[in-house]
Amino acid sequence: MTSTTGATACPHCGRPDGAEPFQVVSRHLTAAGSTLWTRCACGSLQVRTADGCGTRVVSRSRPT
């Protein structure tokens, strides 16, 4: 999985972006594909975009 945040793993816990488990908090369809709000196992909230090029983490918060 590619990431627009410059990392391919969570900077807080080191878990790879494509690894399970992550919890899907919400999913929204867009004209280009979909936007997913997910929560990493460490609690970091992540925004992922999914389109014809794959899935990317575009933003993430600190763990809760």
- Residue scoring higher pLDDT (57 or 6): 57
CA distance 35 to 51: 9
Rounded alpha-carbon distances, angstroms, from residue 40 to 11, 13, 20: 11, 9, 9
pLDDT confidence of residue 6: 56
Whether 3 has a pLDDT exceeding 60, the answer reads no
Digit-coded pLDDT (tens) for 32-56: 899 999 999 899 999 999 998 888 8
pLDDT confidence of residue 7: 59
Whether 1 has a pLDDT exceeding 60, the answer reads no
Q: Where are the domains positioned within the chain?
A: 2-7+22-60
Average pLDDT value for residue range 8-19: 86
